């Protein structure tokens, strides 16, 4: 089992990220090592949506698709769901409870 | 373009189109006419070229006509009738050439068709973004539309393009530092 931090998921999905190659190579290595499930948590989703939302203006999709997506909120959803879907065959979603003080 | 996209049943096309398409497809099947795509992202220089069996280049106009006919024939075979009302080709500054089809279908049918088309003509392989617009009823919810758009991107191998380099590690470090 391996837990993927948000930055690995995002770097994996965006070729323009400085660590895109590292993230791809890391996930390939994990697969080669026989790791069949990669985990993420609700915190990852919050950070992913937050990151995409902050950067929505610089993240493009083709005009053909963008025309159908009218609001910024919809665009954020498309890009965030794209990130999760592109890893969906690898990622298992799991709830990791936050310990109470 | 491989033989797998070559389909049968051209009854929806004009006789002159059928003759041209048959010639084109036959030469592709014989292995002489693999189309060549020269693509340069961010510019308008993408071109698609078919070659005749004698290795002579077919004009760009005829090449596009050929591609359009192949796509249109594929649509007719998927849907069972000719539903393409119109088509346009333009250039997207980030993704290169785009072929948009306008079809006489409802939104749901058109989006299903779009998914089937990008399975056959993925952007990752051909470098052409396919788009579909519909003239029929808008019968998809917002959630369904978003789900279709994501599936179309994944299936065709279209990735989001950032306008500048990203540094997610740095940004998240900063964000977490604030929390």
Question: What is the ipTM metric for this complex?
Answer: 0.85
- Which residue bears the tokens 């592109």? A86
**Strand pairing partners for A17?**
B166
* For B165, nearest residue in chain A (alpha carbons): A16
CB of A62 within 8 Å of a chain B CB? The answer is yes
DSSP B42: T
DSSP B5: G
Q: Say if residue B6's pLDDT is above 50.
A: no
Return the pLDDT at B117: 93
Selected residue with higher pLDDT from B126 and B121: B121
Q: Give the containing element (helix H, strand E) for B75.
A: helix B60-79
Summarize pLDDT for B42-80 with one digit per residue, the tens: 333 344 455 444 555 555 556 666 677 778 888 888 999
**10-residue averages of pLDDT along chain A (101 residues):** 87 91 91 83 89 90 91 93 84 61 55
Cα separation, B100 vs A38, in Å, equals 38
Whole-number mean pLDDT of chain B? 73
- Given phi > 0 = left and psi -120 to 50 = alpha, else beta, which region is B64? alpha
Return the pLDDT at A101: 55
Which value, in Å, is the radius of gyration of the alpha carbons in chain A?
A: 15
User: Helices A42-54 and A6-13, interaxial angle, to 10°?
Assistant: 50
Considering only CB atoms, B164 lies closest to which of A19, A58, A65, namely A58
Alpha helix positions (H), B10-141: 15-29, 60-79, 107-120, 123-126
Distance (Å) from the alpha carbon of A47 to chain B's nearest alpha carbon: 8
Q: What is the dihedral of CA B132, B106, B109, B87, to 10 degrees?
A: -20
CB contact (8 A) between residue B98 and residue A63: yes
Cα separation, A17 vs A7, in Å, equals 10
CB contact (8 A) between residue B153 and residue A19: no
CB contact (8 A) between residue A68 and residue B149: yes
User: Helices B168-178 and A42-54, interaxial angle, to 10°?
Assistant: 110
**Beta strands B84-92 and B47-49: pairing type?**
unpaired
Q: Which residues of B touch A85 (CB under 8 A)?
A: 150-151, 154
């Amino acid at each position: 089992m391996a837990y993927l931090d948000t930055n690995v998921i995002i770097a994996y999905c965006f070729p323009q990220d400085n660590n895109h190659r590292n993230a791809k190579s890391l996930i390939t290595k994990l697969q080669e090592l026989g790791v069949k499930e990669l985990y993420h948590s609700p915190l990852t989703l919050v950070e992913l949506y937050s990151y995409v939302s902050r950067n929505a203006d610089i993240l493009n999709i083709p005009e053909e698709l963008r025309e159908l997506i009218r609001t910024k909120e919809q665009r954020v959803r498309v890009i965030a769901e794209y990130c999760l879907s592109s890893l969906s065959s690898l990622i298992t979603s799991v709830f990791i409870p936050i310990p109470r003080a | 373009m491989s033989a797998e996209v070559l389909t049968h049943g051209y009854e929806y096309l004009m006789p002159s189109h059928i003759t041209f398409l048959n010639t084109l497809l036959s030469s592709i099947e014989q292995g002489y006419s693999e189309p060549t795509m020269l693509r340069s992202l961010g510019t308008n220089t993408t071109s698609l070229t078919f070659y005749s069996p004698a290795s002579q280049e077919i004009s760009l106009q005829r090449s596009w006509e050929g591609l359009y006919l192949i796509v249109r024939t594929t649509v007719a075979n998927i849907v069972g009738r000719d539903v393409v009302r119109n088509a346009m080709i333009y250039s997207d500054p980030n993704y290169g050439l785009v072929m948009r089809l306008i079809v006489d279908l409802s939104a749901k049918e058109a989006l299903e068709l779009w998914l089937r088309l990008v399975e056959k003509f993925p952007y990752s392989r051909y470098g052409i973004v396919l788009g579909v617009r519909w003239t029929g009823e808008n019968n998809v919810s917002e959630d369904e539309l978003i789900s279709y758009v994501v599936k179309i991107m994944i299936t065709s191998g279209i990735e989001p393009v950032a306008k500048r380099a990203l540094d997610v590690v740095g940004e998240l470090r900063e964000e977490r530092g604030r929390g």
